[in-house]
């Protein structure tokens, strides 16, 4: 029996994991969400920004990882548009630009934000750290046009935004190593204030930067998205997702415990 439990066909685990997602999606539950300090810090920072100040949002995630950063981006965009904080969108990742375009348009429509006055999408440029360094001296030296091809000089919002000096906060929504790039080349060299919203995979490695103040806030994965949605009183994909996620985590924790009990019992039998 114990052997059977320990060597369970992996497809049974697949089915259990699938059911743990499908059932709560069909029958959603709503559990109270606790807001963690890094999320609260980011919210407070954005909430304290003066109307008319500018937030640069780096959409550094692609379709392979959009589940977590997209609800974060949506929640922060809503907060910014409500606070009349202008948003400049950029991306260092090649497959992020269409996602950014579609999301910004969707939230702007919902909040009545006007393109060119309340927000702008500059788009993508290849070159990673050199794009960051270049924008530090002059944004127009990297992006002479916006994503749609309109010269920056013809966009009213960009009239007074020439480099990082006019950016109050850079929020990097990332699924890879771009946060480190922004910290290394924009924060260390140009003193740009940076916060991050990252996928679960890289949450743990962000904490040293939070403690030093190189990051002023952090949205930790799906949980961060749900927490931010709670802070702005607008439940979305993050809140629904983290509630569903609860059951999968319970399942995995349960499986690990069962596996370990079976392992120790088998080992004890072997010893006796």
Partner 1 sequence: MKRQVPLVLCFLFGIVMILTEFSPHSDSQELYKEVGRWYLVITPFAYVIGVMTLVQVHGTRIRRRAEYWQYSYVVFAGMILMVVVGMPTFLNQTPFFQARGISFGLQSPVFEWLFEYVQVPMEATTFSLLAFFIASAAYRAFRARTFEATLLLISALIVMMGNVPIGDYIWNTVMGETPWTDGTSWARQWILDNPNLAARRGIILGVALGVISQSIRIILGIERSYLGGD
Partner 2 sequence: METLGIWIAAFLTLCIYSFLYRDNPFYRFAEHLFVGVAVGYGIVVQIHQGFIPFAWRPVETIISGEASPMDFIKLIPIAIGMLFFARLSPRHTWLIRYPLAILIGIGAGAAIPNVLQADIFAQVRGTLTPFSQLGTLGAGEIIGAALMVIGVICTLTYFFFSVEHRGAVGGLSKIGIAFLMIGFGSAFGNTVMGRVALLIQRVDFLIEDWLGTIF
Residues in contact with partner 2 by CB under 8 A are 11, 14, 17-18, 21-22, 25-26, 64-68, 94-95, 97-98, 123-127, 129-130, 133, 143-145, 147, 180, 183-185, 187-189, 199-201, 203-205, 208, 211-214, 220-223, 237, 240-241, 244-245, 248-249, 252
**Beta strands 194-198; 218-220: pairing state:** parallel
Nearer to partner 1, 13 or 52 (CB): 13
Nearer to partner 2, 108 or 133 (CB): 133
- C-alpha separations of 131 from 92, 139, 143 in Å: 8, 9, 9
- C-alpha separations of 92 from 26, 83, 200 in Å: 37, 26, 20
Residues 46-85, one symbol each (x = binds partner 1 by CB under 8 A, - = not), give ----------------xxxxxx------------------
- H/E run at residue 134: helix 129-137
> Which residue's entry shows tokens 């060597």?
7
Residues 128-167, one symbol each (x = binds partner 1 by CB under 8 A, - = not), give --xx-xx--x---xx----xx-------------------
Query: What is the total count of residues that contact partner 1 (CB under 8 A)?
Result: 67
Grouping H, G, I as helix, E, B as strand and the rest as coil, residue 198 is: strand
Q: What are phi and psi of 44, to 5 degrees?
A: -60, -40
* Residue 39 contact partner, candidates partner 1, partner 2, none, CB within 5 to 8 A by sort of partner: none
Q: Which of 69, 71, 217, 221 binds partner 1 (CB under 8 A)?
A: 221
- C-alpha separations of 260 from 247, 257, 271 in Å: 20, 5, 16
Report CA 17 to chain centroid distance, whole Å: 24
Q: Which of 27, 126, 269, 271 binds partner 1 (CB under 8 A)?
A: 126
């Amino acid at each position: 029996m114990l052997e059977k439990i320990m060597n369970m066909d992996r497809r049974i685990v697949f089915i259990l994991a699938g059911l743990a997602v499908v059932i709560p999606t069909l029958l959603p539950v709503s559990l109270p969400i606790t807001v963690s300090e890094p999320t609260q810090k980011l919210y407070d920072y954005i909430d304290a920004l003066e109307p008319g100040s500018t937030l640069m949002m780096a959409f550094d995630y692609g379709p392979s990882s959009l589940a977590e950063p997209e609800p974060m981006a949506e929640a922060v965009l809503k907060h910014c548009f409500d606070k009349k904080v202008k948003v400049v969108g950029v991306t260092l990742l090649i497959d992020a630009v269409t996602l950014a375009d579609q999301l910004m348009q969707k939230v702007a429509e919902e909040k009545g934000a006007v393109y060119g006055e309340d927000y702008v999408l500059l788009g993508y440029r290849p070159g990673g750290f050199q794009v960051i360094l270049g924008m530090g001296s002059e944004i127009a030296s990297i992006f002479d046009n916006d994503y749609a091809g309109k010269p920056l000089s013809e966009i009213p919002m960009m009239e007074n935004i020439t480099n990082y000096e006019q950016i109050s906060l850079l929020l990097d929504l990332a699924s890879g190593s771009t946060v480190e790039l922004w910290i290394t080349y924009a924060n260390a060299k140009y003193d740009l204030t940076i916060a991050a919203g990252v996928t679960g995979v890289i949450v743990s490695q962000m904490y040293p930067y939070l403690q030093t103040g190189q990051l002023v806030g952090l949205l930790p994965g799906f949980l961060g998205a749900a927490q931010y949605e709670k802070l702005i009183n607008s439940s979305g994909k993050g809140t629904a997702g983290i509630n569903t996620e609860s059951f999968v985590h319970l399942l995995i924790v349960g499986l690990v415990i069962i596996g370990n009990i079976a392992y120790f019992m088998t080992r004890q039998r072997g010893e006796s």
